[in-house]
Amino acid sequence: MGQMKNKNINKGAASVVILFVLLFLLLFTRFLYIEITKEVDGKELNTLAQELWTTSKTLEAHRGSIYDRKGNVLAQDIPSYTIYAILDRSYPNHVKDPEETAKQLAPILGASKENLEKILKQKKRFQVEFGAYGRKLTQKQKNKIEELNLPGIGFERETKRYYPNQVFASHIIGFVNENEQSDIQEGVMGLEKSLNKYLIEKNGSVTFKRDGSGTKLPVPDEKIEKPQNGKSVYLTIDENIQLFVEQALNEIEKEYKPERAIAIVANPKTGEILALGNRPSFNPNKRDIANYSNDAISSRFEPGSTMKVFTLAAAIEEGVYNGQEKYQSGKYKVAGGVISDHNNGEGWGSITFDEGVRRSSNVAFSKLAKEKLGFNRLYQYLTKFGFREKTGIDLPDEANSAFRYEAEIEKVTTSFGQGTAVTPIQQIQAATAIANNGVMMRPYVTRKIIDPETDEIILENKPKSTGKPISPETASKVLDILETVVTDGTGQPFAIEGYDIAGKTGTAQIPSPNGGYMKGWGKNIYSFIGMAPKNDPKLVVYVAVDRPKLKGFETGSQATGKLFTSITKNSLQHLNIEPDASEDSKKALSKNSNYGLELEDYAGKKLEEARKELENKGFKVEALGNKDSLIQEQIPYPGSSVLNGERIILKGDGEIKMPNLKGWSLADALKVVEILQLEPKINGSGYVVKQSIKPKESVREKDQITIQLAPPE
């Protein structure tokens, strides 16, 4: 038995020895192979060592910012944060109370307590995030959460695209995507899309050696690939004029609840778009988008009587227009149908062509097209005015016109804006020829693109003429006639005290899905194209309101009139164009009681006495300065037409204290800014909710003030 046992032990020992020998041979062979080939698993030893001891970190780049013409930020990258929670109980700092943590986080993240609690109770997870609710958090949200001192909660820093003015030129600027798989943001709408190749950033990296614990080694072979920030884009947009547009559109949307509304403001001398807005609009920070179409350039519709401006210009240029010649208004028979004036074809008897223009007579323009100009020449002029092709504005998705110009009735109706469809931006471009001595200017929104690191100009747009459809003499004559439309014709609701306005109203029919046109009160697109001041236009303004909810016997011109006058008056004053009321503009306003009373000159009167007098008349009055001092300035200016309840600012001598602007409209707040000559920074849209200069604080000229606006609750 003993011998047998020893024999088994010897066999076992031998087996172990053989096993060790085989392992040794295997290791020796492996080492020999590595020594000869200098490779491990197909990788060279040097490469493998580099990978083991080298690490790389991303150097974050920023997407290019977008600015208005004065350098105010309209879009920029700002720090943002992603929140995470550590669930592993073996880790010292972990979530200890999921229920309480979910309860505290829910109101800050805008998520339900139940959903957050479900995430925080997941099993076998070291760390979790909270989906869309936990990403792109602001610094304010992060601070609020940190103040709660919740165990196991941490943050990762990143960037997000931020639009500081909220609902502001949203269809121009657009927005970027939220691609979670990439650190690089891509533009998907507006200029963010069309200028993406300039705005897009490229992240860099730094590569360095580290020891076994991950600590960076002090060796000189560090490699840095610099991040490449996106280029800076400067627009033609004037932030203040754009704010006037947004404010006016908000008021129209609130009061009339139209299907859509459009406003464009341009400099006719250069083609620069100073402001452009649509309703419905959206907040690019929230992506609450109901209308992706930039209707100002992407939507075409029958313009209505605004097209008469260009038929009139063609007739004058060709020498076939005699404003004192009479014709029979009412109805006019042409091949294919009968043209009727807008008062059910009753007309106004035998009237002059000038009066026909003022009354927006369809018959007058039908006769001009057929009997005076001829259809071929009319078509040539409409082509010269740019209605047969896109303007080429530097915004994506521009639409082109749709001409119906075959049958005689189609040619006739095109002359007064029916049948043929054009875009608002085509009308703006054509109107620049009327307001710019016959020279038509291409509209554009991008002034320049520069490299923010070197200030090198990458791209710069200059004013560009797209033709000269009419002479300076014709342009001047058209302006004179269009002024009478505002003083004595259908454009009276568009008169502005202190400024001579030239313009033309439009009422466009809307095709019905069942064929023909929509019927019913207000089932039209009401528009106006105006130029101001008439003698040397600095602005061309186009407004349109689609199917407003009119009250009682309101007309569409009342809606568009409010939109146009609000935008134009504020914009002219912003451009320091002094009012100079002519007898014609006073005459127009005296015919329209909607424009209220003429404000007298209170200069030299005691501040307190004037305040009481105006308040007794039903006005809101803000008196600035020593109440016993004499009035030095007032806004609105003397001679302005003011409505009952309008806010009036009076300035006397002595210490000026800042009024409480909370709840004021932007237009009223800017009255204080103007009279005190402050340097404003406006954020948001709507009504004043915050002001950087506190109420009752002393204020001096040139002080800077930030005004925060928000929509009414």
**How many other C-beta atoms lie within 10 A of the C-beta of residue 25?**
10
What is the pLDDT at residue 3?
Answer: 56
Cα 681 from chain centre: 17
> 673: helix, coil or strand?
helix
Burial call 555-566: b when 16+ CB within 10 Å, e when fewer = bbbbbbbbbbbb
Q: By mean pLDDT, which of 5-19, 160-174, 220-234, 334-348 is the weakest?
A: 5-19
pLDDT band at 235 (very low <50, low <70, confident <90, very high): very high
**Can you tell me the distance from the alpha carbon of 501 to that of 537, in angstroms, rounded to the nearest whole number?**
9
Instruction: Kindly state the tokens that stand for 136.
Output: 């792109």
241-593 homologous superfamily: DD-peptidase/beta-lactamase superfamily (3.40.710.10)
pLDDT tops 60 at residue 218: no
Beta strands in 602-663 (DSSP E): 620-624, 633-635, 641-642, 647-651
Alpha helices by DSSP H, listed for 289-361, are 295-298, 308-317, 353-358
Q: How confident is the model at residue 4 (pLDDT cuts 50, 70, 90)?
A: low
pLDDT value of residue 252: 95
The structure tokens 């054509």 sit at 430
**pLDDT greater than 50 at residue 713:** no
Window from 53-62, 213-222, 290-299 with minimum mean pLDDT: 213-222
Within 10 angstroms of residue 346's Cβ, the number of other Cβ atoms is 12
- Band the pLDDT of 260: cuts 50, 70, 90: very high
What is the CATH number that goes with domain 598-710?
A: 3.30.10.20
* Whether the Cβ atoms of residue 483 and residue 222 lie closer than 8 Å to each other: no
pLDDT at 546 over 80: yes
The mean pLDDT of the chain is 86
Dig out the tokens for 489 from the structure: 């014709």
Amino acid at 451: D
User: 37 or 387: whose pLDDT is higher?
Assistant: 387
Residue type, 595: Y
Q: CB neighbours (10 Å) of residue 448?
A: 18
pLDDT band, residue 91 (cuts 50/70/90)? confident
Domain extents for the chain? 2-37, 58-232, 241-593, 598-710
Kind of pairing between the strands at 679-683 and 704-710: parallel
The pTM for the full model equals 0.75
Residue 210's DSSP bridge partners are: 216
Dist. CA 271–CA 462, nearest whole Å: 9
- Give the list of residues 6+ apart from residue 206 with CB closer than 8 angstroms, or none: 56, 57, 59, 222, 223, 224, 225
Tell me the C-alpha distance between 183 and 341, whole Å.
61
| DSSP per-residue codes, 115-181 | HHHHHHT-SS-SEEE-GGGGSSB-HHHHHHHHHTT-TTEEEEEEEEEE-TTSSSSHHHH-EE---TT
What is the C-alpha to C-alpha distance for residues 411 and 442, in angstroms, rounded to an integer?
26
Contact status, residue 486 vs residue 495, Cβ threshold 8 Å: yes
Strand, helix or coil for residue 687: strand
> Is 268's pLDDT higher than 90?
yes
| Res 643: pLDDT | 63
Amino acid at 308: K
Please list, in sequence order, all residues whose beta carbon lies within 8 angstroms of the beta carbon of residue 401, skipping any fewer than 6 positions away. 300, 387, 388, 389, 420, 421, 422, 423, 426
Q: Which range (361-370, 472-481, 484-493) has the least confidence?
A: 484-493
Mean pLDDT of 662-673: 85
Q: For residues 19 and 416, what is the distance between their CA atoms, to the nearest angstrom?
A: 103
Question: 56 pLDDT exceeds 70?
Answer: no
Q: CB 574: neighbour CB atoms within 10 A?
A: 16
Residue 333: predicted pLDDT: 95
Quick one: which of 547, 544, 555 has its CA closest to 504?
Answer: 544
Q: Which residue has the higher pLDDT, 130 or 210?
A: 130
**How high is the pLDDT of residue 391?**
97
Q: Which residues are catalytic?
A: 305
Residue 266 confidence (pLDDT) above 50:
yes
pLDDT of residue 686: 62
Q: Which pLDDT belongs to residue 214?
A: 46
**pLDDT digits 0-9 by tens, 596-635:** 467 888 988 999 999 999 988 888 899 999 988 999 999 8
CATH of domain 58-232: 3.90.1310.10
Which among 300, 304, 314, 299 is positioned nearest to 383, based on CA atoms? 314
Averaged pLDDT for residues 449-464: 94
Q: How many CB atoms lie within 10 A of CB 12?
A: 10
b vs e for 181-212, b when ≥16 Cβ sit within 10 Å of the residue's Cβ? eeeebebebbbbbbbbebbbbeebeeebbeee
How sure is the predictor about 469, in pLDDT bands with cuts at 50, 70 and 90? very high
DSSP annotation of 368 reads I
Of the two residues 527 and 646, the one the predictor is more confident about is 527
Q: How far apart are alpha carbons 391 and 440 in whole angstroms?
A: 11
Angle between helices 666-676 and 556-574 (to 10 degrees): 20
Which of the four pLDDT bands, split at 50, 70 and 90, describes residue 318? very high
Q: Write the Ramachandran bin of 321: left for phi over 0, alpha for psi from -120 to 50, otherwise beta.
A: beta
Q: What pLDDT score does 670 carry?
A: 85
Task: Determine the pLDDT at residue 692.
Answer: 93
- What long-range pairs does 545-549 form, CB within 8 A, spacing at least 24? 545/252, 545/256, 545/258, 545/261, 546/258, 546/259, 546/260, 546/261, 546/510, 547/258, 547/259, 547/510, 547/522, 547/523, 548/252, 548/256, 548/257, 548/258, 548/522, 549/256, 549/257, 549/258, 549/522
Residue 593 confidence (pLDDT) above 50: no
Q: Which runs of E-coded beta strand occur in 605-703?
A: 620-624, 633-635, 641-642, 647-651, 679-683, 687-691
Query: pLDDT at residue 394 above 90?
Result: yes
Return the minimum-mean-pLDDT range out of 81-85, 425-429, 479-483: 81-85
Cβ–Cβ under 8 Å, residues 360 and 308: yes
Q: pLDDT of 136-179, one tens digit each?
A: 888 889 899 999 999 999 998 888 888 988 899 999 999 998 65
* % of the chain with per-residue pLDDT over 90: 58
pLDDT at position 697 over 80: yes
Return the H-helix or E-strand segment holding 363: helix 362-367
| Residue 89 DSSP one-character state | T
What is the per-residue pLDDT for 2? 54
**Terminal-to-terminal C-alpha distance of the chain:** 101
pLDDT in tens, 7-48: 566 666 666 677 777 776 776 666 665 566 555 555 554 554
Alpha carbons 338 and 139: distance in angstroms, whole number: 66
Most confident of 3-12, 423-432, 605-614, 700-709: 423-432
Cα distance between residue 84 and residue 89, in whole Å: 15
Residues 6+ apart with CB under 8 A from 424: 262, 264, 295, 296, 297, 299, 542, 544
